[in-house]
A and B are shown apart, each in its own frame.
Chain A
Amino acid sequence: MTADASPIISVRGLVKHFPVRSRGVVRRRIGDVHAVCGVDFDIFSHETLGLVGESGCGKTTTGRLLLNLLPATAGSVLFEGRDIVPLSRAQMRPVRREMQIVFQDPYASLDPRMTVNEIIAEPLRIHGLYARDKVRDLLQMVGLSPEHGNRYAHEFSGGQRQRIGVARALALRPKVLVLDEPVSALDVSIQAGVVNLLEDLQDELGLSYLFISHDLSVVRHIADRVAVMYLGRIVETAPVEDLFRNAAHPYTQALISAIPVPDPRKERSRRRILLSGDVPSPVVPPSGCRFRTRCPKFADRLSDDERQKCTTEIPALTARGVGHETACHFAEALTLI
């Protein structure tokens, strides 16, 4: 990691609203789903940024916006200093060589009518870079043998399919890889192999990862820095060790305390922070701090004046240490593991 260099990706004020339409013929726009609301982060070269949060928090949308697969409502995504949000499809094409994505579901993301060779060769062909050797090398790089190339996706197990997805994403030698829940659909014993592969490839090829996941254990393992999202906003971001040791946002704390640890003695003695209620609708997000409706601190420990602040003022990400930022008016570090 070279912290002093300029980031390879720099996201500023990223916003994405999806229209909610009325039923019937006219389908008037009756509101917006505030999927991503003013997200800022940087990814440095050779670094893994973990983006965590629960379903519906906007982490996948953020990944798609990063690749310009979805048009952003506002904000900018700078790739090596150049804003890619306003680029047309044609202008995006050379940039696509540099940024690729691996999807969650290895069963849905591979075309069942193409052989593995064809799947991996497709991006090479589109960019006019096809060579048979390259496909063979890619297969080897992800731990498959060249003979596998003539088979179809359905002949492989989930872990192997995910390897094929990684090979396809690496075909153009990108610098940045968006990994959207790449191991969530896999059994644990298989998951470990794919995680190791991703780590090896990063070392070998100097890749930068945006690792999107709901699984904090995997993120702790693979990420250098972590950003925690809640309802479209980043609520905390920190170097991985710092986040897990000194989580300061009440949501991060609840998230960490909720992860079951595969260790019976620790598990029996652990303190759990239970959240009440459910994630509010992103169509009408709460005013002020979006987490306040479920925040244990807001409910139990704040005075009325302090609550007033949470209800009216949106907490900004403020620094709490080197690279550690928390968006909470009343943040306090807690050690939970």
Chain B
Amino acid sequence: MTALLEVDDLTVAFPTEDGVVQAVRGVSYQVNRGDAVGIVGESGSGKSVTSMAVMGLLPRSARITGSIRLMGEELLGRSDAEMSKIRGSKVAMIFQDPLTSLNPVYTVGTQIAEAVLAHKDVPKSRAMKRAVELLDIVGIPNPSLRVNSYPHELSGGMRQRIVIAIAMANDPDLIIADEPTTALDVTVQAQVLEALEAARKATGAALVLITHDLGVIAGHTDRVNVMYAGKLVETGSVDEIFYEPRMPYTLGLLGSLPRIDESGRPRLIPITGSPPSLLNLPSGCPFLPRCPKARDRCAEVEPELTATTNPRHLAACHFHTELATATAEEVFA
């Protein structure tokens, strides 16, 4: 069985006045049917750019190489018209800010129906009926009334649920959610994540969930990709990433989180320094300046993703075997 989405050695570079920004530097990953894959990383790690490339939404100035295959078909190099047929029907995307992804002058019902009509030849009345069904699935109360609301009449959480309804309108095979709850309060975030789960259940779609919130990743994904400086630095099942991290950066991220489920006051373990500029990366491991485990070899050769104990759990660290039982305190203290 071929994977639903195969990203292979993807690189994305943006020429700027100051030089070429290497936003994504050779990223490969797969998403199988029905899987939920999380992509974590800090601002500027390339997690959004990777997904925008899948959707064919990068600006024309971007230089993209590698391969992105959806159900075996190459997506890179397709024209915008061809991509339009795929976007919304096979792959749908949910962005961070629902207010900018909705059109303020149309009712939400019209916008959901528009998404249906873009890919299906059905009468408009059927599309509007479908809009009401979709609103019900994402948990909007009084859906038959709410279809006639405008985005400004709804709260942030409701708007994001409308966006989810639009994303699932055509039963896509893959939903990409880019920081879908970052702008929302926690109780609303819980509602929206619930709606996203409902949408997945109704469509059977696979999910790529991009977020910097490791808590959201822990609860809603099966596999996790950790990105740093435009590369995948660790990939594995959600349990492997959280319980047996093999890359110092992942370990550091987990150690720096204050935990609501821990009493007492263990000191947080920050990662010193800040992520490197992607303008002219030095050779060697991009995490080197912040890594307490760094040695000579790290400055010479950039580590590739290599299998750890499990062939599906990969880490980009020369010394990942040493991290097998390490805790963040031991490594970063």
> Roughly how many angstroms separate A97 CA and B242 CA in the complex, as a whole number?
45
**1/0 contact string of B137-171 vs chain A (CB within 8 Å):** 00001000000000000010110000000000000
> Roughly how many angstroms separate A256 CA and B259 CA in the complex, as a whole number?
12
If the complex has contacts A214-B185, A262-B242, are A191 and B256 also in contact, measured as CB distance less than 8 A? yes
Q: Which residues of the other chain, A, contact B308 by a CB distance below 8 angstroms?
A: none
Least distance between A185 CB and chain B CB atoms (Å): 10
Q: Is there contact, CB below 8 Å, between B263 and A195? A: no
> Roughly how many angstroms separate A202 CA and B218 CA in the complex, as a whole number?
33
Q: Is there contact, CB below 8 Å, between A258 and B187? A: yes
- Stretch in B68-76, B82-90, B209-217 touching the partner: B209-217
> Roughly how many angstroms separate A191 CA and B274 CA in the complex, as a whole number?
11
> Roughly how many angstroms separate A48 CA and B272 CA in the complex, as a whole number?
25
B:156-212 near A, CB below 8 Å? 157-158, 185-191, 194, 212
Least distance between B97 CB and chain A CB atoms (Å): 14
Q: Which residues of the other chain, B, contact A278 by a CB distance below 8 angstroms?
A: 155, 157-158, 188
The answer to whether B238 has its CB under 8 Å from any CB of chain A is yes
**Among the listed B158, B185, B218, which residue makes an inter-chain contact with A264, where contact means beta carbons less than 8 Å apart?**
B218
> Roughly how many angstroms separate A254 CA and B216 CA in the complex, as a whole number?
16
Count of interface residues, chain A, beta-carbon cutoff 8 Å: 49
Least distance between B199 CB and chain A CB atoms (Å): 16
> Roughly how many angstroms separate A272 CA and B214 CA in the complex, as a whole number?
17
**Among the listed A196, A258, A337, which residue makes an inter-chain contact with B270, where contact means beta carbons less than 8 Å apart?**
A196
What is the interface of chain A mostly: helix, strand, loop, or mixed? helix
**Among the listed A187, A256, A260, which residue makes an inter-chain contact with B212, where contact means beta carbons less than 8 Å apart?**
A187
Q: Is there contact, CB below 8 Å, between A193 and B270? A: yes
Shortest Cβ distance from B222 into A: residue: A264
How many A-B residue pairs lie within 8 Å, measured between CB atoms? 136
**Among the listed B42, B141, B194, B268, which residue makes an inter-chain contact with A192, where contact means beta carbons less than 8 Å apart?**
B268
Q: Which residues of the other chain, B, contact A70 by a CB distance below 8 angstroms?
A: none
Q: Is there contact, CB below 8 Å, between B185 and A262? A: no
B:20-57 near A, CB below 8 Å? 42-43
Q: Is there contact, CB below 8 Å, between B256 and A189? A: yes
> Roughly how many angstroms separate A189 CA and B252 CA in the complex, as a whole number?
7
Q: Is there contact, CB below 8 Å, between A260 and B158? A: no
The answer to whether B261 has its CB under 8 Å from any CB of chain A is yes
Q: Which residues of the other chain, B, contact A221 by a CB distance below 8 angstroms?
A: 258-259, 265, 268
The answer to whether A157 has its CB under 8 Å from any CB of chain B is yes
If the complex has contacts A159-B274, A214-B185, are A337 and B261 also in contact, measured as CB distance less than 8 A? yes
Q: Which residues of the other chain, A, contact B243 by a CB distance below 8 angstroms?
A: 264
Q: Is there contact, CB below 8 Å, between B239 and A276? A: no
Q: Is there contact, CB below 8 Å, between A196 and B267? A: yes
> Roughly how many angstroms separate A214 CA and B187 CA in the complex, as a whole number?
11
Shortest Cβ distance from B255 into A: residue: A192
Q: Is there contact, CB below 8 Å, between B42 and A263? A: no
The answer to whether B113 has its CB under 8 Å from any CB of chain A is no
The answer to whether B323 has its CB under 8 Å from any CB of chain A is no
Q: Is there contact, CB below 8 Å, between B219 and A275? A: no
**1/0 contact string of A186-216 vs chain B (CB within 8 Å):** 0111111101100100000000000000111
The answer to whether B260 has its CB under 8 Å from any CB of chain A is yes
Q: Which residues of the other chain, B, contact A260 by a CB distance below 8 angstroms?
A: 189, 213, 215-216, 218-219
Q: Is there contact, CB below 8 Å, between B261 and A188? A: no
Q: Is there contact, CB below 8 Å, between B256 and A188? A: yes
> Roughly how many angstroms separate A189 CA and B253 CA in the complex, as a whole number?
6
If the complex has contacts A196-B268, A220-B258, are A267 and B186 also in contact, measured as CB distance less than 8 A? no
If the complex has contacts A187-B42, A255-B186, A272-B190, are A261 and B258 also in contact, measured as CB distance less than 8 A? no
The answer to whether B254 has its CB under 8 Å from any CB of chain A is yes
Q: Which residues of the other chain, A, contact B257 by a CB distance below 8 angstroms?
A: 188, 192, 217, 262
The answer to whether B62 has its CB under 8 Å from any CB of chain A is no
Counting chain A CB atoms within 10 Å of each CB, the highest count among B214, B242, B267, B268 belongs to: B268
Interface residues of B (CB under 8 A from A): 42-43, 141, 155, 157-158, 185-191, 194, 212-219, 238-239, 242-243, 252-263, 265, 267-272, 274
List 23 contacting pairs A-B, 8 Å CB cutoff, sorted by A.
A54-B186, A55-B185, A187-B42, A189-B42, A189-B270, A192-B258, A193-B268, A217-B257, A217-B260, A221-B258, A221-B259, A260-B215, A260-B216, A261-B261, A262-B242, A262-B254, A264-B218, A264-B239, A264-B243, A272-B194, A274-B191, A275-B190, A278-B158
8 cross-chain pairs, A with B, having the tightest CB-CB distances, nearest first: A260-B215, A193-B270, A192-B256, A192-B270, A221-B258, A192-B268, A54-B185, A267-B219
